[in-house]
């Protein structure tokens, strides 16, 4: 049984041995051909072919101006060398390395034959006057009366074919560089050289046919090559009668003219089709300058997010944007696109995520993380700023060494939560991070709102010790507001003691309004709210205030360690922890001494050394952290079903609930960042929180919500009135609507798509900012996340300041961003004696009504160390739609909490010092506890 199989095996081996040489030859021929088509050597050969073809065509033009019957010696040598080069290339690449016989029979082979063969070897048999001195060629001739060019006849029509050879080789080189230019540019250049070659060929045809029997007149007169080219151009431009009388010339030029009339519309239609398929930004390249830095913004820049950048005519024509912004289409995951954007030399790279859309946020985060990791590898020296959705994905970036991470869900939910007990909080944060020009204040509310929005955060250096040494932070803040054109000092950077410093943590911490618990020693870094850098720099040049007299020095010198900035003065918590019967009542204007009223009415003349102001804080609410911890431990054992309720009004809450309505198809994630600020110990009232959604959360999502007290779940459709009533919307203290991200970013809903971004033109931006919904804080713009991450590059401290303002209620919670990197000083901050402040709103005290903002600012600082940032100016109740007019006009502080209208007005950041306060104003204050006037 083994015999036949052996024979078959032997026969197969014999056949393979016979075909071995042929198959091996074909294999290597194909490999070499493809290597030349795609390799560097093939590119060099193509470039050399293009250069030689241009030289070959120039030889023809020089020949046409030659006066003698023979060819000049140098021209003939060059022509023969070029022809030999073309012949060698044709034999090697065109024939020997051809993959098939059909590939030899093409237009390029025909053009090569017409160009090469008339020169070599055919021209060697034509009598000429010159014998070339080439070692390997021997030509014997004795006649000098004729050649292919000199002597007349139509055989000279082979010479203009050289222009087609030029076009063919140049287009081959352009095709090699297709990866370095856009398809539209490539096609346009190839068509341009094609048309140009036809015009040059027509010029040569006109010249040759008109001098067919008198070739020597081509070097002078009307039929030189230049004159013929000019007439050829006029013929094609004006589509006029051919400027020749020879019938052959008319036939050939007419044929070429018809060819162009047919081919030009065809080529233009192809060009427009290609232009519609490719973006003009797809192949753009940025060339960095050695004298300036550049930044790269990449990520999920959807058309809805950057549409105005590409289509807004005002921006594209604005020289500021045209000279400073380069739009490049591509992905940083593509090495070529990253190179075109010069990512390796960028000073900073921003990786933005997709803020809205139909996509799962985890998928979007993972794609953003992949981009950030690739950017870190491409540009290890650049500062990288990344946006992601979920805080649970932050560790993936931190493991790659990327620390500048902003979680959109953290910021969004924290802002919405603080809007519940601090009206206009999100608008206030936006105004602090956005850059607008200053606006002159007039009688309109828009001017006051824009005046506040023009202020920004700046870092400054405090004056030396002989000016501010021994003064409390509250006293220095009063000096800054008085001497620096109403700038507001809101925070200070405190150095960490060497004993508490860690190797991997910062050597200093930022503290918002430490009040009287911190004594300044001079030259510290402070942070102010000012109109511009010029106003902020006034802080360093402040002079010593003579009003801080000896009484102040005496009061501070008796305290232990007064010269140590980390040793606190008398804590306000001890003063505030009073029993109800010992609570200090709110003083009225009549109760204030006349001399004190005289000084406070003019803030610049205050005798600040004449003793402490009468305290305004009558009662405060400070919830014990231990009680919250007990509630958290008790709720950990509960199941989700125990949190689900069917009818909220039947529970009869002692406080009105905060109802959160989710319009999405799934339960929103990261709601713990919304709940935690509402459960902070510094908040006066902990209202019940009702979460309504069409679907209950998963166990993984609910695990982060379970530890909080007084949180309830309601399952129902948010579009049905009955479901909303079951969630308690009729008795709600605040209602928060979480829009569905699926509704944004669709081309069919431009209204919702526009809600996801801010217009870029100045007119539309101001129009959006001054809309009542945004100015009042009822609308939140996700553009704040872009402002934060981009301004962090120009102002690195803004992230720390905004984090303190936004996440201060979470500082004692594990949800606080960056808590794992706290130094020992920050972890044991309570033992340092320093006080941190959070942002609150409170009603304006009655005896401050009619006083100036400077009066209120300085009084609260000197009496309670409460720093006022601005006001939320409510509209009078009779001007609010849907609110019944009041019979008597009363200030908000005079009404009971249940009778006060929902705040609706506008945010007024850092008002003018002379701004008169009204009874409808709410104060934005930085305090270590929520103020509540008795």
DSSP 77-110: HHHHHHHHHHHHHIIIIIIIT-SSSTTTSSHHHH
- State yes or no: pLDDT of 870 exceeds 60: yes
Res. 297: pLDDT tops 70: yes
Q: What is the pLDDT of residue 494?
A: 85
Lowest mean pLDDT among 102-111, 277-286, 391-400, 605-614: 605-614
Residue 677 has pLDDT above 90, yes or no: no
Highest mean pLDDT range out of 8-22, 39-53, 631-645? 39-53
Contact between 865 and 515 under an 8 Å Cβ cutoff? The reply is yes
pLDDT interval class at 623 (50, 70, 90): very low
Does 288-440+758-784 match 638-743 in CATH topology?
A: yes
C-alpha span between 658 and 731 (Å, rounded): 9
**Structure confidence by residue, pLDDT tens digits, 61-78:** 888 887 766 667 788 888
pLDDT of residue 15: 46
- What is the pLDDT, as a whole number, of residue 654? 87
268-277, 456-465, 493-502, 630-639: range with lowest mean pLDDT: 630-639
Flag whether pLDDT at 751 surpasses 50.
no
Half-sphere exposure of 210 (CA within 13 A, CB side): 22
**Which of the four pLDDT bands, split at 50, 70 and 90, describes residue 131?**
very low
Q: Say which residues have a Cβ less than 8 Å from residue 705's Cβ, sequence separation at least 6.
A: 671, 672, 675, 691, 697, 711
Confidence of residue 359 (pLDDT cuts 50, 70, 90): low
d(CA 686, CA 672): 15
Tell me how many degrees the CA angle 660-664-666 measures, rounded to the nearest 5.
100
Angle between helices 2-38 and 40-64 (to 10 degrees): 50
Position 221 confidence tier, pLDDT thresholds 50, 70, 90:
low
CB 257 within 8 A of CB 241: no
Q: What is the pLDDT of residue 919?
A: 84
Tally Cβ neighbours within 10 Å of residue 802.
Answer: 21
pLDDT band, very low/low/confident/very high, at 141 (cuts 50, 70, 90): very low
Distance CA 449, CA 456 (A): 14
**Integer Cα distance of 169 and 167 in angstroms:** 6
Give kind and range of the element (H or E) at residue 202. Answer: helix 183-210
In which band, very low, low, confident or very high, does the pLDDT at 884 lie, cut at 50, 70 and 90? low
- The CA-atom distances, in angstroms, between 467 and each of 11, 542, 548, 610 are 107, 8, 10, 19
**Stronger pLDDT, 555 or 150, i.e. the higher one:** 150
Confirm or reject CATH 3.40.50 for domain 638-743, answering yes or no: yes
Q: What is the Cα 769 distance to its own chain's centre?
A: 20
CA atoms of 465 and 519, how far apart (whole Å):
11
Please give the radius of gyration of the chain, using alpha carbons only, rounded to the nearest integer. 41
Residue range 264-278: average pLDDT? 75
CA-wise closest residue to 243 among 251, 252, 255, 232: 232
Residue 892: band (very low, low, confident or very high) from pLDDT cuts 50, 70, 90: confident
Q: Using 50, 70 and 90 to split pLDDT, how confident is the model at 575? A: very low
Q: What is the pLDDT of residue 284?
A: 72
742 vs 933, higher pLDDT: 933
Please state, in angstroms and rounded to a whole number, the distance separating the CA atoms of residues 428 and 430: 5
Which position has the token pair 């803040």? 477
CB 531 within 8 A of CB 455: yes
CA dihedral 777, 782, 783, 788 (to 10 degrees): 90
Q: What is the pLDDT of residue 580?
A: 36
pLDDT over 60 at 758, yes or no: no
Using CB atoms within 10 Å of the CB of residue 775, give its burial: 0 to 12 exposed, 13 to 18 middle, 19+ buried.
buried
Greatest Cα-to-Cα distance within the chain, rounded to the nearest angstrom: 135
Residue located via tokens 């020009």: 437
Candidates 897, 487, 357; CA nearest to 656 is 897
pLDDT for residue 637: 66
- Percent of the chain clearing pLDDT 90 (strictly above): 5
Q: What is the pLDDT of residue 933?
A: 67
CA distance 237 to 231: 10
Q: How confident is the model at residue 478 (pLDDT cuts 50, 70, 90)?
A: very high
At 358 the pLDDT is 57
DSSP string, 238-264: HT---S---HHHHHHHHHHHHHHHHHH
Confidence at residue 280, expressed as pLDDT on a 0 to 100 scale: 65
Contact 806, 411 (CB under 8 A): yes
Q: Break the chain into its structural domains and give their ranges.
A: 24-277, 288-440+758-784, 463-523+525-619+797-927, 638-743
Residue 199 near residue 232 (C-beta atoms within 8 A): yes
Q: In 10 A of CB 87, how many CB atoms? A: 19
* DSSP secondary structure of 508-520: EEEEE--GGG-B-
Per the CB < 8 A criterion, the answer to whether 415 and 432 are in contact is no
Identify the residue with better confidence: 761 or 652. Answer: 652
Q: Which residue has the higher pLDDT, 21 or 804?
A: 804
pLDDT of res. 477: 92
- The stretch 712-728 carries a mean pLDDT of 87
Worst-scoring range by mean pLDDT, 110-119, 139-148, 165-174? 139-148
pTM of the model: 0.62
According to the model, what pLDDT value does residue 52 have? 93
- Evaluate whether 171 touches 193 at the Cβ level (below 8 Å): yes
According to DSSP, the β-strands at 689-693 and 658-662 are parallel
Query: pLDDT value at position 8?
Result: 45
Which of 63-72, 481-490, 759-768, 868-877 tops mean pLDDT?
Answer: 481-490
C-alpha torsion 36→40→43→47, nearest 10: -130
Provide, for the chain, the percentages of residues in helix, strand and coil under a 3-state DSSP scheme, each rounded to the nearest 5: 50, 10, 40
* Token pair for 29: 């021929």
* Secondary structure (3-state) at 292: coil
Q: Give every CB contact of residue 242 below 8 A, 6+ residues apart in sequence.
A: 206, 235, 249, 250, 253, 254, 257
- Average pLDDT (238-255) is 70
For 368-418, write each residue's pLDDT tens digit.
Answer: 889 999 889 888 888 888 888 887 888 888 888 888 888 888 888 888 888
Residues 6+ apart with CB under 8 A from 576: 617, 620, 622, 929
Q: Which CATH class is domain 288-440+758-784?
A: alpha beta
- pLDDT grade, residue 825 (50/70/90)? low
- Residue 694 in contact with residue 718, Cβ under 8 Å? yes
Give dist(CA 73, CA 70) in Å, integer.
9
* pLDDT tens-digit readout, 784-820: 677 777 777 777 777 778 777 877 666 666 666 655 5
Tell me what pLDDT residue 208 has. 82
How far is the C-alpha of 143 from the C-alpha of 678, rounded, in Å? 109
With a CB cutoff of 8 Å and minimum separation 6, the contacts of 763 are none
Contact 357, 363 (CB under 8 A): no
The whole-number average pLDDT for the span 545-571 is 42
- The candidate with the shortest Cα–Cα distance to 674, out of 827, 541, 813, is 813
Q: How does DSSP classify residue 709?
A: S
Whether the pLDDT of residue 635 is over 50: the answer is yes
- Joined together, the tokens standing for residue 560 give 């232990």
Distance CA 147, CA 130 (A): 11
Note the pLDDT of residue 582. 37
Average pLDDT over residues 521-537: 89
Question: Strand pairing of 404-407 and 383-388?
Answer: parallel
Q: Do 378 and 333 contact (CB within 8 A), yes or no?
A: no
């Amino acid at each position: 049984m083994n015999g036949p199989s052996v024979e078959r095996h032997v026969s197969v081996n014999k056949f393979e041995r016979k075909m071995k040489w042929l198959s091996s030859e074909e294999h290597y021929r194909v490999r070499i051909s493809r290597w030349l088509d795609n390799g560097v050597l093939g590119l060099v050969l193509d470039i050399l072919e293009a250069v030689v073809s241009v030289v070959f065509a120039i030889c023809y033009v020089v020949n046409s101006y030659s006066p003698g019957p023979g060819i000049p010696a140098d021209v003939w040598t060059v022509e023969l060398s070029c022809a030999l080069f073309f012949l060698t290339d044709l034999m090697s690449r065109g024939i020997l390395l051809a993959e098939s016989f059909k590939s030899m029979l093409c237009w390029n082979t025909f053009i090569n034959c017409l160009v090469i063969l008339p020169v070599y070897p055919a021209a060697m048999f034509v009598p000429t006057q010159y014998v070339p001195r080439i070692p390997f060629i021997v030509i014997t001739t004795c006649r000098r009366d004729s050649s292919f060019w000199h002597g007349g006849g139509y055989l000279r029509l082979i010479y203009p074919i050289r222009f087609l050879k030029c076009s063919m080789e140049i287009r081959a080189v352009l095709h090699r560089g297709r990866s370095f230019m856009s398809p539209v540019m490539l096609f346009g250049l190839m068509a341009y050289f094609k048309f140009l070659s036809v015009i040059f060929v027509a010029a040569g045809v006109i010249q040759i046919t008109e001098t067919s029997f008198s070739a020597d007149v081509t070097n002078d007169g009307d039929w030189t090559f230049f004159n013929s080219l000019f007439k050829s151009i006029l013929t094609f431009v004006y589509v006029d009668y051919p400027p020749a009388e020879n019938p052959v010339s008319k036939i050939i030029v007419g044929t070429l003219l018809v060819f162009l009339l047919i081919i030009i519309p065809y080529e233009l239609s192809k060009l427009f089709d290609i232009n519609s398929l490719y973006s003009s930004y797809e192949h753009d390249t940025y060339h960095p300058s050695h004298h300036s830095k550049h930044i790269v913004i990449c990520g999920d820049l959807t058309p809805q997010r950057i549409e105005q950048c590409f289509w807004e005519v005002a921006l594209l024509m604005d020289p500021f944007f045209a000279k400073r912004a380069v739009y490049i289409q591509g992905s940083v995951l593509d090495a070529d696109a990253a190179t075109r954007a010069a990512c390796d030399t960028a000073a900073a790279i921003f990786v933005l995520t997709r803020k809205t859309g139909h996509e799962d946020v985890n998928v979007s985060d993972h794609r953003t993380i992949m981009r950030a990791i690739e950017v870190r590898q491409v540009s290890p020296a650049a500062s990288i700023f990344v946006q992601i959705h979920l805080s649970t994905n932050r560790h993936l970036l931190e493991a790659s060494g990327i620390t500048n991470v902003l979680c959109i869900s953290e910021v969004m939910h924290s802002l919405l939560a603080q809007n519940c007990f601090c009206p206009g909080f999100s608008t206030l944060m936006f105004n602090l991070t956005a850059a607008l020009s200053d606006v002159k204040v007039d009688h309109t509310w828009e001017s006051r709102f824009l005046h506040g929005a023009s202020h920004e955060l700046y870092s400054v250096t405090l004056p030396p010790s002989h000016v501010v040494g021994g003064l409390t932070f509250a006293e220095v803040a009063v000096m800054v507001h008085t001497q620096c054109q109403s700038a507001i000092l809101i925070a200070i950077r405190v150095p960490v003691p060497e004993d508490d410093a860690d190797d991997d943590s910062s050597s200093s911490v930022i503290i918002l309004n430490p009040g009287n618990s911190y004594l300044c020693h001079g030259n510290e870094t402070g942070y102010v709210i000012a109109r511009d850098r010029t106003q902020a720099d006034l802080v360093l040049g402040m002079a010593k205030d003579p009003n801080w007299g000896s009484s102040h020095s005496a009061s501070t010198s008796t305290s232990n360690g007064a010269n140590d900035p980390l040793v606190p003065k008398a804590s306000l918590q001890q003063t505030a922890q009073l029993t109800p019967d010992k609570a200090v009542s709110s003083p009225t204007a009549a109760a204030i001494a006349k001399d004190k009223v005289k000084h406070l009415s003019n803030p610049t003349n205050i005798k600040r050394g004449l003793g402490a102001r009468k305290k305004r804080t009558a009662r405060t609410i400070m919830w014990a952290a231990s009680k919250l911890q007990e509630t958290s431990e008790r709720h950990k054992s509960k199941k989700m079903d125990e949190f689900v309720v069917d009818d909220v009004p039947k529970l009869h809450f002692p406080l009105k609930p905060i109802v959160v309505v989710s319009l999405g198809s799934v339960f929103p994630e990261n709601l713990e960042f919304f709940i935690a600020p509402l459960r902070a110990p510094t908040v006066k009232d902990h209202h019940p929180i009702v979460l309504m959604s069409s679907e209950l959360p998963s166990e993984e999502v609910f695990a982060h919500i379970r530890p909080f007290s007084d949180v309830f779940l309601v399952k129902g459709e948010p579009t049905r009135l009955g479901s909303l009533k079951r969630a308690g919307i009729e008795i709600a203290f605040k209602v928060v609507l979480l829009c569905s991200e699926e509704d944004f970013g669709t081309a069919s809903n431009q209204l919702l798509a526009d809600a996801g971004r801010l217009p870029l033109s100045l007119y539309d931006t101001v129009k959006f900012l001054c809309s009542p919904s945004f100015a009042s804080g009822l609308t939140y713009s996700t553009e704040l996340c872009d402002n934060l991450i981009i301004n962090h590059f120009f102002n690195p401290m803004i992230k720390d300041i905004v984090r303190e303002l936004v996440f201060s209620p979470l500082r004692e919670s594990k949800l606080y961003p960056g808590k794992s990197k706290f130094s020992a000083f920050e972890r044991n901050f309570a033992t340092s004696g320093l006080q941190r402040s959070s942002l609150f709103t409170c009603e304006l005290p009655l005896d401050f009504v009619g006083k100036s903002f400077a009066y209120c600012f300085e009084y609260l600082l000197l009496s309670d160390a409460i720093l006022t940032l601005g006001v939320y100016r409510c509209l009078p109740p009779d001007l609010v739609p849907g609110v019944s007019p009041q019979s008597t006009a009363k200030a908000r502080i005079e009404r009971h909490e249940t009778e006060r209208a929902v705040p609706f007005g506008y945010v007024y950041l850092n008002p003018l010092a002379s701004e008169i306060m009204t009874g409808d104003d709410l104060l934005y204050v930085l305090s270590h506890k929520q103020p509540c006037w008795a």
